[in-house]
Amino acid sequence: MALLQITEPGLSTAPHEHRLAAGIDLGTTNSLVATVRSGSATVLPDRDGVQLLPSVVRYLPDGAHLVGAEASARAVSDPLNTISSVKRFMGRGVEDIERLGSSLPYAFVAGASGMPLIHTAAGDRSPVQVSADILSVLRQRVEATLGGELTGVVITVPAYFDDAQRQATKDAGRLAGLKVLRLLNEPTAAAVAYGLDHSAGGTVVIYDLGGGTFDVSILRLNQGVFEVLATAGNTALGGDDMDRLIAGWIMQQAGVSDAVGHSLQRRLLQAARRIKETLTETGTGAVPVSLELEDGRTWEGELDRPQMNELIDPLIRKTLAPCRRTLRDAGIAVDEVDEVVMVGGSTRVPRVRELVTEFFSRELLVDIDPDKVVAIGAAIQADILAGNKPEDEMLLLDVIPLSLGIETMGGLSEKIIPRNTTIPVARAQEFTTFKDGQTAMALHVLQGERELVDDCRSLARFELRGIPPMTAGAARIRVTFQVDADGLLGVTAEEQTSGIRAHIEVRPSYGLTDNEIETMLRDSMEHSREDMDARRLREVQVEADRVLEALQAAVQEDGDRFLDAQERAAIDQAAQALSTASGGEDHRAIKKAIEAVEAASAAYVEHRMNANIQKAMAGHSVDEFKR
């Protein structure tokens, strides 16, 4: 008798063909892996039934390493070789990391590419390698549980991760032996986990406060389509900072100076985290604190919830500024928000929920464990991308956090893709040559909101060579910016007549710090008027240079033929006045000087034009041009 295969709705009609896919939340404090089984997403535990994997790696002298709770247990006794919160270092340079704070116990050195390396007993390790070691453990966990090799994974990243940080995350996945199907913004993953993709529509705020990062995103949901209207955040703000505030309070109460050893630092942070978690879960009474100090003394004290709230209030309120900015960027009012989803373990803290509820004036969605919600959403998306749900038409539309553009003459930044543009996206713009016979063009890719190159961040430089020699302005160079679904940028330049082209995948060695991101956005608003004035001045200065160069080339070629001494003197005088004005700061004066040069050379230009027309028509009849 033939057997009839029966499957659940939405699952593969041939269960043996079900592709194994997983969603990974690579967190600052803890990491998780989830997969879809029997139609629902579940977080997978290790052999001991523990689902959360501490994002901690300890390196040993023999080259081996430990990952997770076993590594975390040795953080106090071996702080230099036990790496935690590595997500904060992803896509950053050594100078960026040094600005994170002097309390970091690790020894950083710059690698050949500019990527920071952490000196350990097992050798120097980059943040990408440390993250890959964490991802490898999660890969082994899911393959052991499902009994097969993974088709691919979706790894989540903070919405505010820039290009360098996203690329570093993707590289870590590849280094761990994973096929990365997609990098998915954590807020979007949370919306998927709550099933908001199947709702009729609405505006949703995703407030994501994890161990080391914070971001807030505003999503518009409509018939299964996710569109991120705006996003903002801080890549160095989270529950770890609450721990540091509480640890600082303990040090102050115990009379301990800031210059403490690494071992005491670790014990302080562990004590602070224990206090925070206890007060979050119970909230009644005071939590006793006992700490053995470096001088052999033991300090004892206690902390209650009102005291903790007073300590962490400034940090929580710091998260509300990006919330205001995203509402403004999205063009919506607080009362237009339909849902607020809480994501990240730090949103368990009651004071966080109180202040966020007060800000948005509505109940919060906290039904799903905030530690697991991102991994669950990533697993659902991975299942779709792996091809297990071909009928599912869920579409994710994320945005880029900062404008992308290119340098033009005069040190100006020409924006090609504005910030908050939905991705994936491709935008193109045509440019031309500045000088006669120019056969190459240097292209400088920029990121930022300001008008001048010096105020933006440099992403990459490359050259387009082999441009056919032409008069200035005749060449047509089309520059295309393409941002893929993972938020990674590629730039192509092509000369239209000859077809020669150059391409670069933008992979900067380090990313923007949280302060740089905040500063770039704030400065773009605070300096908008002076930026526009500076741009106007640079543009007219470039126009002056072009006029002077073209005039000089023309006069050298046939000035003696068409100009008498009086006309030549008038043109030279106007050109000298323009050259002088061009070095000043008054764009109106430069524009008037350009007009004066054009007026002085009008007769000369007319003579040249007529001569060129006669030359072109020589040997032809008028009737030929009529046909």
Please state, for a pLDDT cut of 70, what percent of the chain lies above it. 82
**Residue among 304, 307, 292 at smallest CA distance from 256:** 292
What is the fold of 239-315? Actin; Chain A, domain 4 (3.90.640)
Using DSSP's 3-state secondary structure scheme, residue 342 falls into strand
Q: Tell me, what's the pLDDT at 32?
A: 93
Strand order in the sheet with 202-209: 339-343, 202-209, 214-222, 225-234, 395-399, 422-423
Q: How confident is the model at residue 289 (pLDDT cuts 50, 70, 90)?
A: confident
Question: Exactly one of 46, 78, 87, 494 is catalytic; which is it?
Answer: 87
Rounded Cα gap, residues 119 and 125, in angstroms: 7
The answer to whether the CB of 383 falls within 8 A of the CB of 215 is no
Say whether 367 is catalytic: no
Domains of the chain by residue range: 20-237+319-398, 239-315, 400-526, 529-617
The answer to whether the CB of 156 falls within 8 A of the CB of 184 is yes
Q: Tell me the CATH class for 400-526.
A: mainly beta
Q: Does residue 267 carry a pLDDT above 90? A: no
Question: Exactly one of 171, 186, 243, 486 is catalytic; which is it?
Answer: 186
Q: State the CB neighbour count (10 A cutoff) for residue 496.
A: 11
| CATH code at 20-237+319-398 | 3.30.420.40
Bigger pLDDT: 484 vs 219: 219
Q: Tell me, what's the pLDDT at 205?
A: 93
Q: Does residue 85 carry a pLDDT above 90? A: no
Q: How confident is the model at residue 44 (pLDDT cuts 50, 70, 90)?
A: very high
Q: Tell me, what's the pLDDT at 246?
A: 92
Q: How confident is the model at residue 11 (pLDDT cuts 50, 70, 90)?
A: very low
Mean pLDDT for 285-310 is 84
Phi-psi region for residue 204, left (φ > 0), alpha (ψ -120 to 50) or beta? beta
Q: In the predicted model, what is the mean pLDDT of the chain?
A: 80
Q: Does residue 602 carry a pLDDT above 60? A: yes
Mean pLDDT for 404-433 is 81
Three-state secondary structure along 242-285?
HHHHHHHHHHHHHCCCCCCCHHHHHHHHHHHHHHHHHHHHCCCC
Q: Tell me, what's the pLDDT at 314?
A: 93
Rounded Cα gap, residues 436 and 117, in angstroms: 47
Q: What is the pLDDT of residues 422-458, one digit of tens each?
A: 777 888 888 887 778 888 888 888 887 777 777 777 7
Q: Does residue 520 carry a pLDDT above 60? A: no
Q: How confident is the model at residue 9 (pLDDT cuts 50, 70, 90)?
A: very low
Determine the angle formed by the axes of helices 262-281 and 305-318, rounding to 10 degrees: 100
Mean pLDDT for 239-254 is 88
Question: Exactly one of 46, 78, 171, 208 is catalytic; which is it?
Answer: 208
Q: Any idea which residue has 């607020």 for tokens?
A: 340
The answer to whether the CB of 436 falls within 8 A of the CB of 458 is no
Bigger pLDDT: 201 vs 593: 593
Question: Exactly one of 25, 197, 240, 407 is catalytic; which is it?
Answer: 25
**Residue among 296, 299, 246, 303 at smallest CA distance from 269:** 246
Q: Tell me, what's the pLDDT at 398?
A: 61
Q: Tell me, what's the pLDDT at 464?
A: 84
The listed CATH number (1.20.1290.10, 1.20.1270.10, 3.40.50.1260, 2.40.37.10) that belongs to domain 529-617: 1.20.1270.10
Rounded Cα gap, residues 206 and 330, in angstroms: 14
DSSP letters of 182-245? Answer: EEEEHHHHHHHHTTGGGSS-EEEEEEEE-SS-EEEEEEEEETTEEEEEEEEEETT-SHHHHHHH
Q: Does residue 200 carry a pLDDT above 60? A: no
Bigger pLDDT: 3 vs 527: 527
CA 40 to chain centre: 31
Say whether 25 is catalytic: yes
Q: Does residue 106 carry a pLDDT above 70? A: yes
Lowest-pLDDT range of 184-193, 211-220, 412-421: 412-421
Residue 176 sits at φ, ψ, to 5 deg, of -85, 5
Q: Which CA distances in Å does 339 have to 214, 220, 348, 360?
A: 18, 11, 18, 9
CA 519 to chain centre: 15
Say whether 449 is catalytic: no
Query: Can you give the C-alpha Rg of the chain in angstroms?
Result: 31
Mean pLDDT for 173-182 is 89
Largest CA distance in the chain: 109
Lowest-pLDDT range of 48-57, 211-220, 615-624: 615-624
Say whether 208 is catalytic: yes
Rounded Cα gap, residues 462 and 602, in angstroms: 40
Q: Tell me, what's the pLDDT at 509?
A: 43
Highest mean pLDDT among 141-150, 457-466, 567-576: 141-150
Q: Does residue 577 carry a pLDDT above 70? A: yes
Highest mean pLDDT among 153-162, 255-264, 482-491: 153-162
Q: What is the pLDDT of residues 328-358, one digit of tens each?
A: 988 999 999 998 999 888 999 999 999 999 9
